[in-house]
Amino acid sequence: MARKIIIDTDPGQDDAVAILLALASPEIELLGITAVAGNVPLSLTQKNARIVCELAGRPDIRVFAGCEAPLKRPLVTAEHVHGKTGLDGPNLPDPTMPLAEGHAVDFIIETLREKPAGTVTLCPIGPLTNIATAFLRAPDIVERVQEIVLMGGAYFEVGNITPAAEFNIYVDPEAAEIVFRSGIPLTVMPLDVTHKVLVTKARNDAFRALGTPVGRAVAAMTDFFERFDKEKYGSDGAPLHDPCVTAWLIRPELFSGRHINVEIETVSDLTRGMTVADWWRVTDRAPNATFIGDVDADGFFALLTERLGRLGRA
């Protein structure tokens, strides 16, 4: 049976690819998409999510707008990485599908209450504001969540938005703390693994060679997105952070990690948003997350390219 998921997202080129992979995969039933402010403000992330659904030929997917700002802090955005629109690169039309009625947080709460307990997986690939707000407003839903699979944090790779912190956790560390302390089974895709799935020229060519609107759009997105990481890290191409989440749902055996304790720094100005991961198990703090560290990158790209090739064909 397909796994029921909600994708909570701030698209973002890599978010877009994560969504496309979910929509192309029969192992996944996407119940809805909840947009949050992150890479760019909410007005753009909710619009970008609809652009991506239409690109996939799925205007029936419900896209909800969520929180405009983190729980306790002003929003920090990442136009320097994703461009002014958040989805710079391809030339995609404005969406015609409407935004779903209601607030994303209410959708998350209602869905978890409606569906049998333990049957809905949450997949956050942006700051954790919507998810934490739902837990604060409706604590009864926490024990109904099957699992959370998220992109965020870093340990050996340390930070990308500050020397110590990864963007999604940094933007709303108080929300991240609520999620990491929720007791829900957590699988975490930190920069340690996402920096291993790089869109090299050959992999980008393979997207383009699909010869479909989706293949061309994904190639143009990763072309745009790679300039930042190439300059910063001298890497071979764009890291596909967020698609690690949806790829894990389909082929978990491509990934490996450790079940360890991970705490979120919320106080220090210097290290705010750091994921303090007890990778070496040097404390007796209880494990709360499976922190992924490695991936079969060739297997990942073989899966992704094959699945993207399924979209937009008659």
Where does this chain bind ligand BDR (CB under 6 A)? 12, 14-15, 39, 78, 81, 125-126, 151, 160, 166-168, 241-242
- Choose from Ca ion, ligand BDR, none: what does 78 bind? Cβ within 5-8 Å by kind: ligand BDR
Which CB atom, from 112 or from 125, has the smaller least distance to Ca ion? 125
User: Smallest distance from the beta carbon of 280 to ligand BDR, in angstroms?
Assistant: 23
Residues 6+ apart with CB under 8 A from 106: none
Q: By rule CB under 5 A, what string of x and - marks binding of each residue 238-277 to Ca ion?
A: ----x-----------------------------------
| Alpha carbon distances (Å) from 54 to 122, 222, 223 | 22, 19, 21
Which CB atom, from 81 or from 217, has the smaller least distance to ligand BDR? 81
Q: Could you give the residue ranges of the DSSP H alpha helices within 98-212?
A: 104-114, 129-137, 167-171, 173-180, 191-194, 201-208
Which CB atom, from 160 or from 222, has the smaller least distance to ligand BDR? 160
Eight-class DSSP state of 24:
T
User: Smallest distance from the beta carbon of 281 to ligand BDR, in angstroms?
Assistant: 25
Q: Could you give the residue ranges of the DSSP H alpha helices within the chain?
A: 13-23, 42-55, 79-82, 104-114, 129-137, 167-171, 173-180, 191-194, 201-208, 213-233, 243-250, 297-308
Asked if 165 and 260 touch (Cβ cutoff 8 Å), the reply is: no
| Catalytic residue IDs | 241
Determine, following the binding rule CB under 5 A, whether residue 124 of this chain makes contact with Ca ion: no
User: Smallest distance from the beta carbon of 235 to ligand BDR, in angstroms?
Assistant: 14
Which CB atom, from 196 or from 241, has the smaller least distance to ligand BDR? 241
User: Smallest distance from the beta carbon of 53 to ligand BDR, in angstroms?
Assistant: 17
Determine, following the binding rule CB under 5 A, whether residue 15 of this chain makes contact with Ca ion: yes
Q: Is the sign of the CA dihedral 216, 219, 223, 224 positive or negative?
A: positive
Eight-class DSSP state of 252:
G
Where on the chain is the footprint of Ca ion (CB under 5 A)?
Answer: 10, 12, 15, 125-126, 242
